[in-house]
Amino acid sequence: MDTDHAEGVLLGLACGDALGRPVEFKSAAEIEAEHGTLREMVGHGTWRQPAGTVTDDTAQARCLARSVADRSEFDPADIADRFVEWYDTEPFDIGIMTRRSLQKLKQGVTWETAGRDVWEASAEGSNAGNGSVMRCPPLAVAYPDDPSMLGQVSRQSSEITHADPRCTYGCAVVNLTIAAVMRGDAEPLRTALNYVEPEAPEELLTALEPIARGDERASLPTSGYVIHTLQTALYDGLHTGDVETAIVRSVNRGGDTDTIGAVTGAIAGARFGATALPDRWLAAINAETELRTLAAQLMKL
């Protein structure tokens, strides 16, 4: 991995998050009516923030990256502490399972238990959101050459707030895909799916099979359900010819635009590098310098 592609993961994630933020929850038709094709960082919108503002996706990815960079190892208890510190800043955007898990952590429940308790108390349909896959890509920058370790830390990073196997293995798939991209693997998602296949939930494997093939008829839903987010982000991230088009395409599909944009951006950023991201986007996001520094630190682990 070189610096440009490591930075591409973190900056691609932030750019997708920031482009999608003002149109989160809008349909493709509503975005089209208001913006045509949204390809510029605009202000206000869903969260009434200035242009280029990133959301919880980038904020939590930054907590995770800072922890691993500062401690030179993966320490889920420390990552959980940093999520709580961020939660105490009263972020404008936070997912339901994340909020509940962080509240438990604040009450003194350990990270191994908090996310699991919340998961067990959540009904099917509201127990497998995309709140952990959106923040996990920094781990692929830290552990690109050790799939066993990368799979394990990816799953544990999810368990802090999202203990459902679709979420934990979803994180493993995203990061093993990014790592395979970094190695120049011609079929990175295929490689990732083969790696997790003995243990990962069948529903996840089945949903991502057509995406690995690049099947143009593949279903690409845009909800916050982790499997929907992964289908669409992996498709746009892997099967689009440049990083700007990948992010623009995923955000303009509507739905959970910031998170699908963020995951798409991390994957396409790994393919094309930070230098391929539009300068006008990098100038607008409020996290560029720190994310470049973190990418360089994670790479050196």
User: Is the distance from CB of 240 to CB of 16 less than 8 angstroms?
Assistant: no
Spell out the residues 6+ positions from residue 52 whose beta carbon is closer than 8 angstroms to its own: 18, 41, 281, 283, 284, 285, 286
Helix (H, G, I), strand (E, B) or coil at 129: strand
Q: Does 93 bind Mg ion (CB under 5 A)?
A: yes
Nearer to Mg ion, 182 or 260 (CB): 260
130 vs 297 by CB, closer to Mg ion: 130
Q: Are 68 and 49 in contact (CB under 8 A)?
A: no
Question: Under 8 Å CB-to-CB from 259, ≥6 apart: which residues?
Answer: 17, 20, 57, 130, 131, 133, 134, 224, 229
Footprint of Mg ion on 30-69 (CB under 5 A): 55-57
Q: Which is nearer to Mg ion, 48 or 71 (CB)?
A: 48
User: How many residues belong to the site for Mg ion (CB under 5 A)?
Assistant: 5
User: Which region among 85-93, 105-113, 222-230, 292-300 touches Mg ion (by CB under 5 A)?
Assistant: 85-93
Q: How far apart are CA 225 and CA 292, in angstroms?
A: 30
Check the annotation: does 279 bind a ligand.
no
Rounded Cα distance between 55 and 32, Å, is 22
Find the residue with minimal CB distance to Mg ion: 55
Nearer to Mg ion, 170 or 188 (CB): 170
Per the annotation, does 56 bind a ligand? Answer: yes
Nearest approach, Cβ of 233 to Mg ion (angstroms)? 13
Interacting span for Mg ion (CB under 5 A) from 65-73, 93-101, 152-160, 205-213: 93-101
Residues that bind Mg ion (CB under 5 A): 55-57, 93, 258
